[in-house]
Structure 1
Amino acid sequence: MNSKDTSEKYLRIPPWLRVKIPCNKTYGATRELVKDLKLNTVCQSARCPNMFECFSAHTATFLIMGNTCTRNCAFCNIENTTIMPVDPAEPVRVAEASRRLELKHVVITSVTRDDLDDGGAAYFSETIHAVREELPGSTIEVLIPDFQGSRTALMEVIAARPDIINHNVETPPSHYSRIRPQANYRQSLELLSRVKGSGSIAKSGLMVGLGEADEEVRGVMDDLAEINCDIVTIGQYMRPSLKHPAVSRYVHPDTFEEYARYGITIGIPHMHSAPLVRSSYHAAIFADREG
């Protein structure tokens, strides 16, 4: 075990990050529905700490195009083992699950599929259209990969007219080589700028606790404000396993509130900044605000 692993023994999880596991029949029903329809959720694959709360509230973030990724971001719990072909029937099953869960706001994300010519953009489009047909009154949010900078792929997603397009920058640029080595910070900003330029609602997010300083967090918010990003989420990085980078710090809730105040001050309309915030956590509140 390296020194970082040893030192983290003494970084006890603070009280504000201790999640209560509810005893709720709805949680089991949601989990069984997802299993029955042979769907993946980022809640399960990424070991999200909010899974019990969200499943208990009949919500889930659908993970399309499999549960293995072509990239290997250091913070992520999704595996990058054998990549399977996409399932052409999956969009219809996502739509059916959304209907059975009676979702008012549907959140769809994916693994990164650099093996596909369009990065999976057409598959996002198909899924959006399937959900629209099944639930015409719902709002739809997609959390997309960078499509390796392809404008054509991005425009295919935009043309499907989801209500919110999210792409996370994840961490300040000086940490990309260690945390997100197969991505490019400026490329991610350019994607978000194109989303905003198309007239769509642009959303992004990042984690803290990966070695960044507060000044760097504010720098990312400055960059997102400059491209007129509509919604920004900031949450605490939680180490999924001992194979993942150690948590460098547990940020106090007061500091998260300071991040939110700063973001509003520099012109970001909607900030959602708290220890347990994840990019799709309570996502529907932003759809309501923008609607």
Structure 2
Amino acid sequence: MSDYFRPIPCETGRWPLAGGWLRFSQFELLRRGAAPRVVDSAPPEVLAALTAPRADLLGLSLDRPRIMGIVNATPDSFSDGGRYDGAAQARLLAEQGAEILDIGGESTRPGAREVPARDEIARVAPVIAAARGLAGISVDTRKARVARAAIAAGAGLVNDVSGFDFDPDMAAAVAEAGVPVCIMHAQGVPETMQDNPTYGDVLLDVYDALRARIARARSAGIPLGRIVIDPGIGFGKTQAHNLAILRRISVYHGLGCAILLGVSRKRFIGTIGGAEVAAERMPGTLAVTLAGVAQGIQIHRVHDVAQTRQGLALWRAVTEGEA
């Protein structure tokens, strides 16, 4: 039976959590089919993975939460319906405080259809070129051909929502370029991912799947320090699955990578918060984002950058005395 050790974050504690702003002294021992149990120790290799500082990302240290702004160069985004000009949106989000701009040309909302690579490149490459120098740039794509074109245009991070499952050439493309990558967990593809997703234990199933994806990336020549992980909230997961992950998301620090959380305007926020329209889910998004910050999550992918920046400033003022 496998053991999983979730660090229980606190403001004071014996060990630093991932070299960041939180510490911990105890663990929640998780096992399949057993009730969680609080323990005071973990194997040395587990402790090493939990405490090691994470590598800088696009020139940003990860000892504090970072904001990734979502730039949709698509005509069918679930959130904004493609009503924004991508280059203008990138400039606006950078002005509002986005430290990374995640530029995507293919919607991955539930039910979305695949976009041909040539069309995706035509959407993202001009926006990336226009955004150079504004902030760190990430390309949100599942396709190696798009990733290569985006890197040539100026992207410094590949954000693959398929976790290398969609395009077998993606890992090699990332390794050859020498750029960092975010590998996300998703069950299925956007067209069908919300058709009755099932898990034995969603928290631990996602942990094991991410561990396998990390191993695949490393075998392709991508160092651990260039890998970011994302548990994929809303990607092949029900509301109950999403909440189970969020309640214990700090367990994923045990994989030894920085963690990205993308909850912005997701449907479960609207369901719980009573906000049917996606653009009205900012307060719920901020609440979940701050819950993630309280578990040491380093990168937060959001639509509402200014509001998130304000929320983080208040969080720091209250918890750390920064004003």
**More relative contact order in 1 or in 2 (CA 8 Å, sep 6+)?**
2
TM-score (norm 2): 0.45
TM-score (norm 1): 0.49
- Structure that is richer in strand per residue: 2
